[in-house]
Amino acid sequence: MFPGDDEHLSDSVGIVKTKYATFEVELQLESGRLLGPTTLAYETYGTLNAERSNAILVTHAWTGDAHAAGRHSEDDRKPGWWDDMIGPGKLLDTDRYFILCSNVIGSCKGSTGPTSINQRTGKPYNLSFPAIMVRDMVRAQKLLIDHLKLETLVTVIGGSMGAMQALEWGILYPEVVRSIIPIAGTGRTSPMAIALNAVARQAIFNDPMWKKGNYKPEHPPTDGLALARGIGHISFLSDASMHLKFGRRFSARDGMFDFFGQFEVERYLEYNGSSFVDKFDTNSFLYLAKALDLYDVAWNFDSLEEALSNLQCPSLWFAFTSDWLYPPNQPEEVTRTLETLGKPVEYHLIESDYGHDSFLVEPEKFIPLAAEFLRKIK
């Protein structure tokens, strides 16, 4: 327990445990390859009602995980990544809803990914793991939904890559999903976003410790992954947020004219990258980056219109003014198309200086709008 924690206990989900479900069925991927058996790590919060009709699926972003709320032990210094959103009386009210969050396939946070053992070889997959798409992640999640005997979902809600999953859920399983809430998302990844990931990939590929994906877990390509994370992290911020957080302040520990002296923003990126390498696997980072690059909701459809015509449920979209990774014009392309198709769609552009990370930093700016939307979902 930490100072001040007692005042938040009433709106916390408390101590939670990650669960695991393994499916022996082989999942047919968009690439045509088969993946199986497949394990998904997941957490649940709240209670399923007698009709099993109050479930909400929360979908996570690129390097996120199933731990969306609560703490794993009283010693945890940080709660789940969306703890502000999930709990008694919060937007995703655990007194009303049964909340579910699962880790995507391709990750290293408990679900099947490159670090998993390939049962055919008895060795980790590494780069023999098949390329995956966001659509594959959603099909794997559907196995979990069926396993939990959930025939319907009140909504699927998520930010960034989570927004992509939410949209895919609405298109692939319109008979299951009663609404979707994509936040800071896009209908297709832009060339600029792909370019940023390409540079991040090269940072890893150029690290001699990467060994074409066959590095030892105890000796990962830390320099390459730290640099790759730093590149990605820049795209999550904005010029305004960098001015607010760092300005042009030079590090107090360095001399301004020392050749290797750093600005505070440089030290921040260095720290963020170096701390990340202890939390995430390099190959998983690469596979999920590739899934982001490949994302196009119109994949295997003749057009964007044909893909979106499958969406039957109401959708609520949020974009942020300072987001330059998935700028507002990208979700607006989707929402305009939905309006043209006569689909029930609502869109809000939120003023924020925090860039792509706004959905994590300032949820209070969109929570009232999302709460009003959810009240209408039957």
**Catalytic residue numbers?**
160, 323, 356
Whole-angstrom distance, CA of residue 220 vs CA of residue 253: 29
Q: Check: CB of residue 27 under 8 Å from CB of residue 140.
A: yes
Distances (CA, A) of 79 to 19, 88, 289: 17, 15, 25
Query: What phi-psi label fits residue 207: left (phi over 0), alpha (psi between -120 and 50 degrees) or beta?
Result: beta
Could you give phi then psi for residue 279, rounded to 5 degrees?
-110, -15
3-state class of 316 per DSSP?
strand
Q: Check: CB of residue 346 under 8 Å from CB of residue 314.
A: yes
∠ CA 73-16-52, rounded to 5°: 175
Within 10 Å of residue 32's Cβ, how many Cβ atoms? 7
3-state class of 360 per DSSP?
helix
**Helix ranges restricted to H, the chain:** 134-147, 161-172, 191-205, 222-236, 239-245, 264-276, 282-294, 304-308, 329-340, 358-361, 367-375
Residue 366 DSSP label = T
> Does the bond joining 191 to the residue before it have cis omega, within 30 degrees of 0?
no
Distances (CA, A) of 357 to 183, 283, 334: 11, 23, 21
User: Exposed (0-12), middle (13-18) or buried (19+): which is 258, by Cβ within 10 Å?
Assistant: exposed
Whole-angstrom distance, CA of residue 122 vs CA of residue 136: 24
